[in-house]
Structure 1
Amino acid sequence: MTVAALPPSARTRVRRVAELASYEQAALHAIVDAAYLCHIAFRDAHGSHCIPTACWRIDDHLYIHGSNGSRMLKQLLADTGACVTITHLDALVLARSAFNHTMNYRSAMIYGQFEKVADTGQQHAAMEALMDKLAPGRQTQVRGGSAKEYAATTVLRIALDESAVKQRAGGPLDDAGDMAHVVWTGELPFTHGRGAAIADALNTCELPPYAAAWSTESA
């Protein structure tokens, strides 16, 4: 018998519809790996903010990057903590009762303290991993980052050990008293499709395999 993972902390324990929660690292990794953007909540002297930014995973950390002058990155290094969220919306769920309508989704919340990737070699490896996430194999084809570009860039990471996943799938859950109400019920899916690659007007190269495969791969 497999024992379900427990919440890593009190603030990650899902209380509302707790049966939809998961604390398994595999579930978390799948949601992070499917994302290109995350939202980071933080607070500074000007108030509370929630900013979208590119993200990627290496082992048990989520990574972000930005300019050295980024207000958010400076605050994340100076602050005591942050909350990162990722959400994938899969479908609208239509029920017989207005208040039983819901959505199918996959979401994750990550708490913790960001740390700077200070080692130059690790910084380069992290940025190359981002490029590999965007288009596997492209790193060897493009001009690599210059010393000046790397010097102007900050890479941060946050551990994934204090996190929670919440996800829903399937059709509506109608109340027994509503079953006689005649109305269409079911799911309105969102298909996370990919379009065919579009060459730039100044492009001079043949379509590479990773770009040709883009539209045939699942998002």
Structure 2
Amino acid sequence: MEPTKAGRRPKGSSVLEPKARTELRQLAARGTHEWEAIAAILDAGLLASVGFSVDGQPFVLPMLYGRAGRTLYLHGAASARIMTVLGGAIPVCVSVTLVDGMVLARSAFNHSMNYRSVVAFGTARTIEDPRAKLSALRALSEHMLAGRWDDVRGPNRSELAQTAVLAMDIEEASAKVRNGPPIDDEADLPRPTWAGVLPLSTVAAAPVADPQLRPGIALPSYLENAGEAGRS
């Protein structure tokens, strides 16, 4: 996706109305409020940076997440202070960034990164209903590795009680994308310096079996090609 095309609206797409927190100012041509673009980046990511403030002290924590529609799910130990704080109906900011390449220019000033990023705002709430909690945990598991949830033992009553699950409806969000070669000054183009992009991606290596794995248990189908596929 080229930066100049990020703001174009595909036919039939939906838009999250920009507000003060998500208005695109700097390099606005790289940004979009299209829900389809935002959802695609959220689905491609693995870790979110979750930001919030308690008594004027800001915190940003890395957390696994899942998504169902326009709701994000987060989970952690029920005894963890952070889960109690986040579940107390406080404003939350969630950011997900995928780095696709190093952009190497002829000048230090014009170096950059090719990336896809989302910033989303909402209010977290604790999920109390056991069925809704299981559904959210399934979304978290399937986001990490599709097909895994149906292959494992689900949480029992004790494990559910020890786990806090939060839901955050996305109230506002925006995405930004940079792609393509470096943008050098005309005067720097004759320099004898290599310029271009060093692509980067998250690639799964071949699965490594647990030493205690019973003999005869085959690699599940959702892992068979894991070593050949990257998360784009």
Pairwise same-fold verdict (TM > 0.5): yes
- Contact residue 33 and residue 174 of structure 2 kept, 8 A: yes
The answer to whether residue 222 in structure 2 is matched with residue 200 in structure 1 is no
Deviations 1:1-45 (A, max 9, x none): 958947521110121111111111111111111112101111224
Q: Work out whether 1:54 is the aligned partner of 2:54.
A: no
Deviates more, 1:182-191 or 1:133-142: 133-142
TM-score, normalising length from structure 2?
0.87
Q: Provide the residue aligned with 1:169 in structure 2.
A: 179
Matched residue, 1:213: 225
How far apart are 1:82 and its partner, in Å? Answer: 1.2
* 1:46 Cα deviation from its structure 2 partner: 8.0
Q: 1:80 to 1:167 in 2, by over 3 A?
A: same
Which 10-residue stretch deviates more, 187-196 or 37-46? 37-46
Q: Secondary structure at the residue paired with 2:133?
A: helix
User: Is residue 76 from structure 1 mapped to residue 89 from structure 2 by the alignment?
Assistant: no
Amino acid at match of 1:67: A
* Distance (whole Å) between structure 1 residues aligned to residue 61 and residue 185 of structure 2: 39
2:138 matched residue in structure 1: 128
- For structure 2, the 5+ residue unaligned runs are 1-7
Q: Residue 172 of structure 1 aligns to which amino acid in structure 2?
A: P
- Contact residue 66 and residue 136 of structure 2 kept, 8 A: no
Residues 103 and 198, structure 2, Cα contact 8 Å, conserved in 1: yes
1:185 aligned partner: 195
Contact 1:22-1:166 within 8 A present in 2 as well: yes
Deviation (angstroms), 1:141: 2.7
Q: Structure 1 residues 115 and 6 mapped into 2: Cα distance closer, same or farther (>3 Å)?
A: closer
Provide the identity percentage: 34
8 Å Cα contact 2:67/2:143 also seen in 1: no
Cα deviation digits, residues 130-152 of structure 1 (max 9, x gap)? 22233333323322211111112
> Contact 2:75–2:166 (CA<8 Å) still a contact in 1?
yes
TM-score of the superposition, structure 1-length normalised?
0.92
Does the 8 A contact of 1:7 with 1:13 survive in 2?
Answer: no
For residue 37 of structure 1, the aligned residue among 34, 41, 47 is: 47
1:137-176 equivalence runs, <5 A: 137-176=147-186
